[in-house]
Structure 1
C-alpha cells in the first residue's frame, strides 16, 4: 500500500495565486479602515470583504482543508473572535452599499475589538504571532480513523505539536487538526476535559479517545465556554 497524503486535515498548503488574492483583499480592507479613520470617502469592493470574511469563517467553523493554515496566518485568534470578525465583515456590506456611515462605523468597531486590524496587518506582512499568556486545546485525528481522537493541550504552537506527533515511529497516516481552542490556563482545562472524557479513553496512559468528533467538540466547547477561559 502506498500512502501519498503528506498533511492532515486543516493543514493543506495554499496555492500562491490564491494567497496573493487573499493578501490583496486584506490590504484593501485595511486601506478602507485607514481611509475611514482619516475621513476619506472611500469604499471597499464587496468581493474583498467576502474574501476576508471567508477566511475568518473557515477559522471559526474549522471545516476546510486549509483552515489551520489560514488560522496561523491570521495570528491564531480564538474561535469567538473569528466569529465576531466574520459577522462584522458580513454586516459591513449593506452599510457600505447604502452609504450608512453610522451602521458601518459600528461594524468596523466590532471588527477592531475582535483584533481584526492587527491580524490582517500580520497577514499582509506575512508574519503571525502567538497569543500571549495562552495555550491551546487541540483535537487531532486521521482521515482513516476519524473516531480515534487525540485530545490534549500545548503551550507551544499546535503546528509544532502535530509535527512532533507525526514524526513519531509508527505513524503512517499524518494527523490533522480537527479543532483548536485558545484558552487561558490550558493545562487545567485539559485535566477537566480528560475527566469528562474518561469513559471514552482508550488507555489510561494515553490521550486517545474513541468518540465521535461532533460529540467531543460539543463537550469541549461547553467546558471552555462555561469556564470563560477562551481567549
Structure 2
C-alpha cells in the first residue's frame, strides 16, 4: 500500500486564490470597522459573509481546513468564534436594513471578542496565541476515526501534532478533530481523563476508543463545568 497523505483532518492547506479572497474580505471589514464607509454597504455585506464563514468554520470545526483557518485567526476559543460569527451576521443584517443603532451594537460585540486584532493578524499573515491559555485537543486519523488521542498542550497544537506525526511508526498523519482553549489545561485534562477512563485503551497512553461525537459531548461538558474556556 502506498501512502500519500501529507496532512490530517482540519489541516488542509488553503489554495492561494481562496486565501487571497479571504484576506481581501478581512481588509475590507477592517476598513469598515474603522470608518463605517456608507458607500461600501453593498459589497461589505459580501465581505462580512466571507469572514463570518471563517469564524463559523472554527466554531463548528467540521471542515478539512478549519484548523488552518483557526491558526490564521489567532486561535480564538470556540465561544469567541461563535460570538464573532453571530456579531458579523447581525452586522450584515443591520447594514442591509439600514439600522444604524444596531450596526453600532454589533460592531461593539465583534470588537469585544477580539475580532479586530484577529482580522489584522489574518491580513498581515501574523497570528498570535491567546495569553495564559493551553489547549485540550482531540486527534485521529482518517483510517481509524474511533481511536482518539485526547490530551493537552501549553505549546501550540500544531507543534504537538507535528511532533506526534514525526514519531517512528506513524504512517497515517493525525489530524485535529477538535480543540478547546482553556485556562489550567493540565488540570482540565486530568478531570477529562477521569471521565474518559472507561474508554481508555491502555493506562499509560492517551488513546481512547469511542465515537468522536460522544467524545466531543463529554469533553464539551467537562470544559463547560470547569468554567475555564477562553
TM-score by structure 1 length? 0.97
Q: Which residue of 2 aligns with 1:82?
A: 81
Alpha-carbon distance in 2 for matches of 1:94, 1:56: 17
Are the counterparts in 2 of residues 141 and 177 from structure 1 also a CA contact under 8 Å?
yes
Q: Distance in 1 between matches of 2:119 and 2:177?
A: 24
Residue in structure 2 matched with residue 20 of structure 1 by the alignment: 20
> Which 4+ residue blocks in structure 1 deviate beyond 3 angstroms?
40-44
User: Any idea what SS the aligned residue of 1:118 has?
Assistant: helix
Number of aligned positions between the proteins: 228
Listed as ranges, the matches of 1:218-229 within 5 Å are 218-229=217-228
Partner of 2:65: 66
C-alpha distance in 1, partners of 2:93/2:188? 40
- State the distance in 2 between where 1:218 and 1:95 align: 34
Matched, 1:43 2:43: no
- Using structure 2 for the length normalisation, give the TM-score: 0.97
CA RMSD of aligned residues (A): 0.8
CA contact (8 A) 1:49 1:89 kept: yes
What is the alpha-carbon distance in structure 2 between the residues aligned to residue 6 and residue 106 of structure 1?
A: 44
Contact 1:6 1:174 in 2 (8 A): yes
- Distance (Å, rounded) in 2 between the aligned partners of 1:20 and 1:50: 15
Deviation at 1:43, TM superposition (A): 3.3
Q: Please give the alpha-carbon distance, in whole angstroms, between the structure 2 residues aligned to 1:100 and 1:153.
A: 44
| 1:121-145, Cα deviation, whole Å (9 max, x unpaired) | 0110000001110000000000100
Could you list the runs of 5+ residues in structure 1 that have no partner in the other structure?
Answer: none
Superimposed CA distance per residue, residues 74-94 of structure 1 (whole angstroms, 9 cap, x where no aligned partner): 000000000000011111122
Distance 1:99 1:22 in 2: 25
State the shift of 1:230 in Å.
0.4
2 CA distance for matches of 1:31 and 1:150? 42
Distance (whole Å) between structure 2 residues aligned to residue 112 and residue 131 of structure 1: 16
